[in-house]
Amino acid sequence: MTREVSVELQNVIKKYGQDKVVDQVSFSVEKGEVFVLIGPSGCGKTTTLKMINQLIPHTSGNILVNGTDVTKLDVVELRRSIGYVIQYIGLLPHLTIQENIAFVLKLTRHPKKNQKERAEELIEIVGLELNHLKRYPRELSGGQQQRVGVARALAANPDILLMDEPFGAVDPLTREQLQNELLRLQESIQKTIVFVTHDMQEAFKIGSRIGILREGKLVCLGSPMEIVKSEDEFVKNFIGQGALFEVFDTIPVSKILEKNVPLVHDNEKVDLTAEKLNDWENVFVVDSDGNCQGYIPLSSLEKDGSFQKDKINPLPKATFSDTSVKLAVEEMLWGGRTWLPVVDGHSSFKGIVQFRSCARLLDLEGR
């Protein structure tokens, strides 16, 4: 299934004099994805970002936004149609948050009668309370102000957002909250986001795909798992040790859920001829409502496949299907187990996650 491409760079070069700060960079960003640009200081990631909305004009190559060459677009329309979020929030200090948002809405010629609703909508989208609208910028924390910055960038409803280290100036806890907020936001509004950061953890957490730049060149491009599997020495050094677990921390166990576990109802016998049983050590017992009562090792079954109720082992503490693989592995280690049952939000048994399935993740493409 081909997805629409929102932003595309083709052999883009940026030169200052003879110095190539961006050197033949090519990539495309699909509609609705979060594409992260990362690399060491001076690698050209911010320059690359700023060429998309032409804050910096490129020297050669093509940059396309929604299929159109940016140099053929009116720069004012281009600039206004792409949201741009940096660390600087730039709120007018003597206006309330509501007035600040209204200011931007008025400039975008938003219909006057809808401005109040739109301001409220935007505030809620970024995870702030309605009563924040009446406050002045100085009354808000750094993290709250940054959320307002995102709200203002979304005011004109751009399809594309460019973000340049927007969470760099806040403390790690706030940064984590803002990252979570961004992910949550993406679930509902699905913007195409190009995000620059120097923080690899942040890249793994929020990026659907990551591009690693070095001295102006794109040296690695792929999903977090693909990046982690890279053989390139520079990339391995750059992402550092423990990167695999950082990626595991961003993958929910639902990705490696074993749904097809052998099940037996509490009043039935196990069919010992079933081929499926060859791959399993345990059978899971469910009642008439589908709730899992526990499990029985195959070795504890009678010769005819029946079992005694007292042979049913209680389920170990379950993990939720949205728990990260990293946390699930930790739980297994703490419990001395190699598997855990998985339940959904309603505590319904969904299957199990096994330690050995983590290896399967290394073969998966994309997330």
Question: What track of x and - describes contact with other proteins for positions 140 through 169 (by CB under 8 A)?
Answer: ------------------------x-----
Residue 58: CB minimum distance to other proteins, A? 12
Among 42, 242, 297, 335, binds other proteins (CB under 8 A): 42
Backbone angles phi, psi at 320, to 5 degrees: -80, 155
Among 5, 56, 263, 298, binds other proteins (CB under 8 A): 56
Quick one: residue 351, left, alpha or beta (phi over 0 = left, psi -120 to 50 = alpha)? left
Contacts of 143 (CB under 8 A, 6+ apart): 170, 174, 177, 178
Which of residues 87 and 208 has its CB atom nearest to other proteins in the complex? 87
Residue 92: CB minimum distance to other proteins, A? 5
Cα 102 from chain centroid?
Answer: 30
Contacts of 194 (CB under 8 A, 6+ apart): 7, 29, 35, 37, 49, 52, 160, 161, 162, 163
209 in Cβ contact with 28 (< 8 Å)? no
Question: What track of x and - describes contact with other proteins for positions 22 through 41 (by CB under 8 A)?
Answer: -------------------x
Residue 41: what residue type?
S
Which of residues 55 and 312 has its CB atom nearest to other proteins in the complex? 55
Interacting span for other proteins (CB under 8 A) from 15-23, 191-199, 200-208, 320-328: 15-23
- Pair of tokens at residue 173: 């806890």
Which of residues 18 and 241 has its CB atom nearest to other proteins in the complex? 18
Residue 17: CB minimum distance to other proteins, A? 7
For the beta sheet containing 160-164, the strands, ordered from the edge strand earlier in sequence to the opposite edge, are 82-85, 160-164, 192-197, 34-38, 209-214, 217-222
Which of residues 191 and 205 has its CB atom nearest to other proteins in the complex? 191
Distance CA 189, CA 200 (A): 25
Interacting span for other proteins (CB under 8 A) from 78-86, 119-127, 190-198, 277-285: 78-86
235 in Cβ contact with 219 (< 8 Å)? yes
Residue 179: CB minimum distance to other proteins, A? 21
Sites for other proteins among residues 58-77 (CB under 8 A): 75-76
Sites for other proteins among residues 82-141 (CB under 8 A): 84, 86, 88, 90-95, 99, 102-103, 106-107
Which of residues 80 and 135 has its CB atom nearest to other proteins in the complex? 80
Q: In a 10 Å sphere around its CB, with 0-12 CB exposed, 13-18 middle and 19+ buried, how is residue 317 labelled?
A: exposed
For the beta sheet containing 60-65, the strands, ordered from the edge strand earlier in sequence to the opposite edge, are 19-30, 5-16, 60-65, 68-69
CA distances from 285 to 253, 256, 262 (A): 22, 21, 9
Question: Residue count at the site for other proteins (CB under 8 A)?
Answer: 29
Residue 15: CB minimum distance to other proteins, A? 10
| Residue 80 touches other proteins, criterion: CB under 8 A | yes
Contacts of 179 (CB under 8 A, 6+ apart): 167, 202, 205, 206
Tell me which residues touch other proteins (CB under 8 A).
16-17, 19, 21, 41-42, 47, 50, 55-56, 75-76, 79-80, 84, 86, 88, 90-95, 99, 102-103, 106-107, 164
